[in-house]
Structure 1
């Protein structure tokens, strides 16, 4: 794209183009969480095993996260609008397939295809916005709206899923995507223009393969060990996956255009920012899923009532995401990042007050989501800008790509790792009749004592997850307090390698720029 183009005020076409582009962005984010309240219904219909249920939830996030950077580079080379159109169409086809999947295996496969398609949407959509908004200030505003939409999608996913499930069958949570996708395919060719980077980097196919071939066996080993115990196959899968990840990391150091530039992690500010992108999403996804099961299967709420309880937390998260950029100008990014982690830790620890018999748990659940929602909203708002500001301008693209990827991988890792931890405790302390609480409760003629034991074991697992994630957030808050300079513009003076100092004020513009695209 032409970097010397004259900045002009955006007209109606630009704002309509933004509105149309936000549709797929909202869907990609929403589909990362829309199943949290739907899993009891999916379990009733398809009877997945414990590890199949976890794969159904997190394969989507793994596919998005592992391919996000690669598709950013592909869009640079072959055209972002073209890739965006293909990705949206594929997302719609995969959504329809998931809605009518007759078996857990097919549902997992279609969720994986949705994730692959979703990985094409985020980087391409962000880059296309740079063509619509050539003025840096308005472009930054458009990118802020983009980020807020993405955050809102994660937050309202359970609510949308619950509303649909109260009226329709479980597959409706995927069919809701189709009208938005159809509208985009009709309007996008009219409102949007093709965008290519001036100097696109080469995509390394082996790195793309190793990132997935290393991560997925490790996650499989963790899940299988949690649900079935250690076996020879589990150990082999874990070792093979770890070897693949080591090979991937070593290969990135020798590439001119690596998928992940590990040298960026020498900067403490950048490292804190990326972990802040990953850990809150991991905590949020795991506890949102487990709390959804708690509200329905332990507390006994209908799915619509459980969905309504997610509204206050979702509102707090979304509003916080919107107002945080203005507050950061007053309190600074350091204070925002520290507040983020301590708020999430406090909110998660409130889940310890959820009782095993389900009585009176809704009030503590609401308090937890509201307090933690403040931290989640801050995380969504400041991570990308902080990461980009911590590195030199010529590396802004890699920094922004890692910030986006950390969100998606965090969402998937939360279900995979923390969800497996909850499953492990249910297996060890439960009645040992089935792998999950929902499967156990479906067994006919259960005596009350067995039901009580099953619910108690599930709540124990939920409490362990809340404590684990809460302690990690508190520890990261303390680390941020010690590592982050009082002013992030003084990062270089604080001894951080490669800091860019005050580049943060211009980072949104740099992210969208054709040369240092934030999606590469």
Structure 2
């Protein structure tokens, strides 16, 4: 009886703790995509400019991506639970402010605040799993579930947004966060223990400023270069951002406790995995945003109808994310990464047959096929990052993985979205910068509407071809770089894991 209680109690606490952590994780990822279907409604009410609309969409991802590294290290040093509690509180306040924002400027500010809070939540939440699940096999399962929640948040964000907009006003897409945040603040102190790993040293303030400032300046410059072309301000900003990031990299090599251990990138599997965290998110966010506009503004579907059409792809993504850890255990990360990139490349190309008059079937097929690859990317990146480092660096490693995700999400909308906007301006009627703004103009002739929609579809096709080629290229690099695992090594690894698990369970029972 004593042995069974000692074995069951820690495991029950671990899984309950995981369930509590998944709430904010789901919200942080969901808020990266929940506005894809809501933007037409927000544009009608708040009337943002084209530039403000892009900032409403991507300032959240910019804030999260630029601060993840800093907050991952801060959580490692000063306590992950404390940072989770602070971040959840600020995220709730930012959500409430965004829901009732009367102007585009205030909405952008609240979205930025939510992004800062999100940067505190993701790396610490991922690091907590290392404490809850010390066994490598169970940790991989937990991280697979974590990654599935993160992926599901991105996937169902547009669906949740569409359902809420079908019943309530646009601010409801932010208020939906509050019940989850309140639940987390109530149960987290009960189920999660504070973790302050020893020997991690003090936080280097200059590294924090350099990582956050360099990333923000660089992403800002890339966004404006893609959207507006070459000019003095974005070029100067890009040069400064790259210089700050270079200083950050050099400084890390001379610190005893750096924010990022760049030696991790000597491992080719780790490097490919981190790039895999960035590129699929860029492709997914751009394709999801442009497809949402295509379904609503080109095919004239309702918000709810468009949301329901996204469900098959969301299901494929979630299932893929959950089963990937077990599949990787058998086939290896090399094969999983190859399947990831080539399935995304093929899935994106299925959007090419879409036209101004139809393409719903092609859209569903595209999201399902590409969704398999997106799910693999989430699971492989997270598990590789956390499993490659000791427990005291789990927050920093998790931050690298999540940073690649968030920067990819932001760059997808900023760069690939701007590429679509460029082709719309070049081939469209040249009456407004975007399709939605053009369609809102009064007294448009049917021929002008047709030209505008055709130009948008052309931009969508250009984006999916570009993203597909990038994925095919990265898949080819992975094929050449990553060695095939020896069959004997794979078998040994699979056989050793249950033995290690039994030894750790016996040790727990012995302490009871």
TM-score by length of 1: 0.87
Q: 1:296-375 residue pairs with structure 2 within 5 A?
A: 296-355=296-355, 357=356, 359-375=357-373
Q: 1:193-212 residue pairs with structure 2 within 5 A?
A: 193-212=193-212
Q: Is the Cα–Cα contact under 8 Å of residues 282 and 413 in structure 1 kept in the other structure? A: yes
Q: Is the Cα–Cα contact under 8 Å of residues 14 and 132 in structure 2 kept in the other structure? A: yes
Please state how far the C-alpha of 1:250 moved relative to its aligned partner.
Answer: 2.9
Q: Is the Cα–Cα contact under 8 Å of residues 353 and 364 in structure 1 kept in the other structure? A: yes
Gap runs ≥5 in structure 2: 1-5, 502-512
Q: 1:36-435 residue pairs with structure 2 within 5 A?
A: 36-133=36-133, 137-355=137-355, 357=356, 359-387=357-385, 398-435=396-433
| SS of 1:324 mapped into structure 2 | helix
- CA distance, structure 2, for counterparts of residue 490 and residue 61 of structure 1: 43
- CA distance, structure 2, for counterparts of residue 334 and residue 135 of structure 1: 23
Offset from partner CA, 1:65-106 (integer Å, 9 cap, x none): 222222122222322211111110100000011111122221
- CA distance, structure 1, for counterparts of residue 392 and residue 187 of structure 2: 34
Q: Match of 2:460? A: 462
Please state how far the C-alpha of 1:409 moved relative to its aligned partner.
Answer: 1.6
Offset from partner CA, 1:209-249 (integer Å, 9 cap, x none): 22333333333334334444433333333333333333333
Q: 1:479-518 residue pairs with structure 2 within 5 A?
A: 479-487=477-485
- 1:449–1:207 CA distance, 2 compared to 1 (3 A): farther
Q: Match of 2:3? A: none
- CA distance, structure 2, for counterparts of residue 137 and residue 71 of structure 1: 27
- CA distance, structure 1, for counterparts of residue 247 and residue 486 of structure 2: 34
Please state how far the C-alpha of 1:50 moved relative to its aligned partner.
Answer: 2.1
Q: Alignment RMSD, CA only? A: 2.8
More deviation, 92-101/392-401: 392-401
Q: Match of 2:474? A: 476
Please state how far the C-alpha of 1:333 moved relative to its aligned partner.
Answer: 1.5
- CA distance, structure 2, for counterparts of residue 392 and residue 438 of structure 1: 49
Please state how far the C-alpha of 1:289 moved relative to its aligned partner.
Answer: 0.6
Q: Is the Cα–Cα contact under 8 Å of residues 277 and 381 in structure 2 kept in the other structure? A: yes
| SS of 1:351 mapped into structure 2 | coil
Please state how far the C-alpha of 1:375 moved relative to its aligned partner.
Answer: 0.6
- 1:228–1:387 CA distance, 2 compared to 1 (3 A): closer
Q: Match of 1:442? A: 440
More deviation, 209-218/116-125: 209-218
- 1:212–1:55 CA distance, 2 compared to 1 (3 A): farther
- 1:219–1:194 CA distance, 2 compared to 1 (3 A): closer
Q: Is the Cα–Cα contact under 8 Å of residues 51 and 224 in structure 1 kept in the other structure? A: no
| SS of 1:425 mapped into structure 2 | helix
Gap runs ≥5 in structure 1: 1-5, 492-500, 510-520
| SS of 2:352 mapped into structure 1 | helix
Please state how far the C-alpha of 1:128 moved relative to its aligned partner.
Answer: 3.4
- CA distance, structure 1, for counterparts of residue 228 and residue 137 of structure 2: 54
| SS of 2:332 mapped into structure 1 | helix
Q: Match of 2:510? A: none
Q: Is the Cα–Cα contact under 8 Å of residues 73 and 201 in structure 1 kept in the other structure? A: no
- 1:149–1:365 CA distance, 2 compared to 1 (3 A): same
Offset from partner CA, 1:352-382 (integer Å, 9 cap, x none): 1111x2x221111001101101111111122
Please state how far the C-alpha of 1:156 moved relative to its aligned partner.
Answer: 1.0
| SS of 1:246 mapped into structure 2 | helix
- CA distance, structure 2, for counterparts of residue 76 and residue 392 of structure 1: 12
- CA distance, structure 1, for counterparts of residue 80 and residue 65 of structure 2: 18
- CA distance, structure 1, for counterparts of residue 69 and residue 224 of structure 2: 29
Q: How many residues align?
A: 492
Q: Is the Cα–Cα contact under 8 Å of residues 66 and 216 in structure 2 kept in the other structure? A: no
| SS of 1:166 mapped into structure 2 | helix
Q: Is the Cα–Cα contact under 8 Å of residues 32 and 154 in structure 2 kept in the other structure? A: yes
| SS of 2:167 mapped into structure 1 | coil
Please state how far the C-alpha of 1:133 moved relative to its aligned partner.
Answer: 4.4
Please state how far the C-alpha of 1:292 moved relative to its aligned partner.
Answer: 0.5
- 1:226–1:386 CA distance, 2 compared to 1 (3 A): closer
Please state how far the C-alpha of 1:25 moved relative to its aligned partner.
Answer: 1.2
Please state how far the C-alpha of 1:41 moved relative to its aligned partner.
Answer: 1.1
Please state how far the C-alpha of 1:184 moved relative to its aligned partner.
Answer: 1.5
TM-score by length of 2: 0.89
- CA distance, structure 1, for counterparts of residue 188 and residue 433 of structure 2: 45
- CA distance, structure 1, for counterparts of residue 233 and residue 349 of structure 2: 36
- CA distance, structure 2, for counterparts of residue 485 and residue 390 of structure 1: 18
Higher helix share: 2
Offset from partner CA, 1:29-63 (integer Å, 9 cap, x none): 11111111111111111222222222221221222
